[in-house]
Structure 1
């Protein structure tokens, strides 16, 4: 015989799969479900936790539990961008900028960008949302010397790509992409609204300008339950 929480899990998973609850929709509260199903709130809470771990929902403290979108496939090539994938699927995209500042490049960042340790780099950290769900935590680094007052220009234009165009530097092409999986740390899990024990995709990507100069090094995290990656060619991009 299945435990009570498993029955609640199965019922909600079935309703989500049948479209009774749509992506981005808030589920009934633990209190309401426990009353309607005749089970304890702890039983509902256990079912919610399992649904979250399996990628059906995301739990936002103080706000409730929301159905997560599924089936987003990101096809990576030399110039593709994740925001374009969301837009092509009709998913409303938004971005929260967490940090955009000049920092001293440490060993890893300096090596990736071809700088000396301690040289100035712009660190840009943001979360990309789709229909209210956090899909991608991006940590991007750019050589500060690439454009005068680069951090200020990115803040004004809301786009590194746009800054490159304004300075006639051409398009950004990513020539290496490395993908692995790991568990998020506590801050990453908070920003992505995912459980600490749910694997995330970690994508490291290096971008160059047409003249060969390194212009970007990116570390991006995406919940493995939300995103699939495919590679279109040998020239890969994030």
Structure 2
């Protein structure tokens, strides 16, 4: 895989007169799991949609390999950046394999049918995410958590360099949440990069190599988990009185609300 870098320089995004993202600056390269954390309304989902080109920025620039994302054709960008929405409500009655194989769309020519290889890649990731048993079921028959896992298989099937995940474990129980992030750890070892909105701070600390803390559309802190998850930052951004410590059993950074 070729080296790649993603850079955001002074990125601003507005809805009407309201500035949602304010002078966002950061750089990431291959092999990172970056957790985007912060309270509701801080701009986390907006940031992901902006990186993916869904939201058109008002000021600043987003560069992928020193080239503006606006200069990429749609399928070219989709081969490099994939996006998983937190919304699992799908309005079409497709089988799960048909949903997952849609991840191969960026690699097809116009009107080209999915190949046997595309199906095999989709099945590979369905097996990885323990959803192959749903292969021929309608996506509408599944629970929210089951759909979440199928959609995760779809974004894996896209095999992009950078994965943008918006609360990928929101509908999952503890076992599947931990399993999903273990899959992301293996992806990191393939020199891919994951940027994920995460509400579960303990999961963020356990699996992320780096955290970006947002508040009111601005980056409060960007760094290693122990640099970001401080008592001062939790109080300042979340408005909670917390004690941060290392868990004596897991050895991981942990916290409790006092």
More helix by share: 2
Tell me the TM-score normalised to structure 2 length.
0.21
The structure that has the greater radius of gyration is 1
Greater relative contact order structure (CA < 8 Å, 6+ sep)? 2
More strand by share: 1
